Amino acid sequence: MTETQPWVRLTRISVTPLILALLLFSGCNVTKTVPEGDALFAGFDVTVKGENDSSNRGAALETELSATVNPEPNASILGWRPKLGIYNAFYTEKEKGLKHWIMTKLGEPPVLFSEVDTGSISTVMSNRLHNRGYFNNTVNSSTEIKNKKAFISWTARVGEPYRLRNIKYTWHDSLQVQQAIEEVQPESLLNPGDPYDLSAMTQERIRIDGALKNRGYYFFSPDLLLYSVDTTVGNRQADVLLRIKQAASKKALKPYTLDDIYIFANYSVGDSLSVNDTIDFKGYHYIPNENYVRARHLLDGVFLEQDSLYTREDHLLTIKRLNGLSAYKFVNIDYEIDSTNTNQLDAFVYLTPALKKSLRAEAQMVSKSNNFAGPGLNVSFRNRNTFKGSELLNVEFTGSFETLTGGTGTGPAPDGVEDTGSDKLTSYELGVKTTLSIPRIVSPFNFRNLRTEFVPQTRIGLGFNFLNRVNFFQLNSYNASYGYSWRPKETLTFDVTPINLQYVRLRQTSPAFDTLLLENPYLQRSFENQFIVGSIYQLTYSTQMFEERTSQIFDRVTLDLSGNVVSALQSVAGAHKPTDDDPRTLFGDPYAQYVLFDNDFRHYLNIGKESQLVARLVTGVGYSYGNSNTMPYVKQFSIGGPNSIRAFRARSVGPGTYDIPDDLAFSYFDQTGDIRLEANLEYRFPIVGFFKGAAFVDAGNVWLLRDTYTEEGEVVRPGGKFEAKDVLNELAVGTGLGLRIDIEFFVIRLDVGIPVRVPYLPKGERFVLSEFDGSFSGENSMVLNIAIGYPF
């Protein structure tokens, strides 16, 4: 039986009054603080009745009109008004003290019916309908008050909307801008037969302005375009005439090209704009010198060229690319008409440097996916302009002391099993990691400068890590990498690491761990001293940056290869054919040869303003061959933990239906596999203020591609091999609830997982939800996950 940790018991005690308090708030009289003669604005609805309306916009109109209701009723969840409940429960007339702070900071006063001006709101609704082409509409409201609660109903009656008949653009023939507008007219947002829509007409002005900005019309603006609408043509039709204001200035109606381009590479607010100390480089005036960032490195992010037509596209692209350089914190571009040629603009690029060097120390509580936790120290040095090319150098030193705080093998050992004790399941870790990010592609091949707003990166990494599992083993890990990252467009990111080197060396193993390796050939092969010499290719597609979208997608595909190039070269050189007992070596140690594929797909469905339904599907497979008969331990898949199946502790599930024996459960051992399948479904919703809630269901497992055997011919991990017909029956399933404290710049997450199905139990006994007793101890008990950030 697993022993309950003291901090878990404390959590159980502290949660109880919180639950009681929430129940108290839910039962409060919501009209407790509503003044006599008034009522609580409890809710409203908006109905659009248009029996003769062929545009089928009723639902969209109701949503739009509902947004005009102000103030809105108190926020509610399934009829419960938590913030109003807090306000009522802690109501006080005092202007200070704890109750006043809770009432004002966490609570919300009742929204009163007297605060709702139904007449003004009806007028606003009528105007909105007018803007949508319903020139003849009526909006009425009715109110029902019961038990000091007011519910308001608005009813809008509309007919067939006015539709566009003719759309004409009238210009002066002598204006140069006429030809430019005629060329972009085929992309117009206004089409004959469409319902009259003021917002579409406004967007059409903005579209024309944007098109002209990309054709050199720097001083043009949307308010220079005027609409004239004739609705007297009959049959609910309207003729639209678009023209330019007669008062438009001449400079707004002609295109400009660029003349001199000045780049202030070390600018601070208040600096003199003298251009005496200037370097002319490839047609640019570089000011003042190259003591900060060299011009040849900076110009990859400048897409403004002398004698080229001014375009807003090049302007924005330059700002975004330069903003992506670590050496600068502010970028601004101004334009002035050239003093000698009034048809040209001089461009002034102002770059304000960021703090070049910084040193940060951070004490932290380390909590890893394998249940090791303890204090840690992280010290990092950062140089944002290392070699005068905006190169970002980051050197990070880490140190931690960890002890196993929970999971498989904690608590008293069963009879006949040696009790290692938590004092023996401890770990010390020291590491250093150096990363150099270069804001350009550094390669023996000549690549053209990508015309994208995202800065391409070349990454060089070196690292060393020392791990000491006390009374078990020590592990040295060396790694080096060279790779590239670039985003050809906003939704797509490529990461290519053609050189990925890693060397893992196991040393100073204890007799107990040696015995464990001898008894478990699979584990022994996983911990072999070996090289990983390969490449990693990653493609990420994401639409999460489009926050206004109801549906968002994230998909990351990873291909990891190792050992193929080395094996091919050795084969050409006549090396012997590798076997399990005699693999090929590199500098005296074997190297891993495998191919690994992993895909992480997520779908975010935004429901309302703050609620969200998130689904995730993770699949992966790793296949070792040639020089390896097992995947390296650091590349194997695992299931369970705060970012996986939260009803099971980290790395405690699988492979398949394998039931870990007690003598391994109380030693250093993780349950890993070659195949991973995991699915998650989580509903996220607001509670009060920065408190958010979640309900989730997780399922998954890992499997082996092939069995391994002891010297006696017994399967090392029976039930662990992948069989397609048994996959669904071997999934671990858990559910639970979560609380998140989301204060924008970081999130503290508490998830309580409840096991539903345990795959390693005998068939017919795997569903364990009926045995749930609400405790954190014992078999099939709840699991508390404490983490930073959202799980996915």
Query: How far is it, in rounded angstroms, from Cα 739 to Cα 557?
Result: 30
Residue with more model confidence, 746 or 160? 160
Nearest in space to 667 (alpha carbons), one of 470, 447, 409, 427? 409
| Cα gap 742→44, rounded to integer Å | 30
Model confidence over 190-218: pLDDT tens digits?
999 999 999 999 999 999 999 999 999 99
Q: What pLDDT is stored for residue 422 in this prediction?
A: 41
| pLDDT over 60 (residue 521) | yes
> Lowest-pLDDT range, 198-202, 350-354, 672-676, 714-718?
714-718
Supply the pLDDT for residue 16: 38
491: Cα separation from own chain's centroid = 12
Q: Residue 515 half-sphere exposure, CB side, CA atoms within 13 Å?
A: 7
* Structural domains in the chain plus CATH codes: 6-157 (3.10.20.310), 163-253 (3.10.20.310), 257-353 (3.10.20.310)
Give 592: exposed, middle or buried? Use CB within 10 Å, 0-12, 13-18, 19+.
buried
592: its two tokens: 């891993």
Tens of pLDDT along 160-191?
A: 999 999 998 865 556 788 888 888 888 999 99
Q: Is the pLDDT of residue 369 over 50?
A: no
- Rounded distance, CA 296 to CA 265, Å? 12
pLDDT in tens, 646-682: 998 877 888 999 887 765 654 555 688 999 999 999 9
Asked whether the predicted pLDDT for residue 543 surpasses 60, the reply is yes
pLDDT at 17: 43
Q: How far is CA 402 from CA 353, 430, 488, in A?
A: 40, 11, 42
Half-sphere exposure of 537 (CA within 13 A, CB side): 6
SS3 558: strand
> What is the Cα–Cα distance from 204 to 227, expressed in whole angstroms?
11
Phi, psi of 364 (to 5 degrees): -150, 165
Average pLDDT estimate for 81-91:
87
Predicted confidence (pLDDT) at residue 120 exceeds the cutoff of 50? yes
Location of structure tokens 């334009």:
335
Are the C-beta atoms of residues 639 and 676 closer than 8 Å to each other? yes
Percent of the chain whose pLDDT exceeds 90 = 54
Q: Which of 484, 595, 606 is nearest to 543 (CA)?
A: 606
How many angstroms separate the CA atoms of 769 and 780, rounded?
8
- Per-residue model confidence (pLDDT) at position 80: 80
Contact 267, 350 (CB under 8 A): yes
**In this structure, what DSSP letter does residue 770 have?**
G
What's the mean pLDDT in 267-293? Answer: 79
The string of pLDDT tens digits covering residues 129-162 is 999 999 999 999 999 999 999 999 999 999 999 9
Could you give the CA distance from residue 697 to residue 705 in angstroms, rounded to a whole number? 27
Contact in structure between 522 and 708 (CB atoms under 8 Å) = yes
User: How many CB atoms within 10 Å of residue 431?
Assistant: 16
Residue 449 DSSP SS3: coil
- Residues 440-452 have a mean pLDDT of 84
Cβ density class 209-247: b for 16+ within 10 Å, e for less: bebbbbbbbbbbeeebbeeeeeeeeeebbbbbebebeee
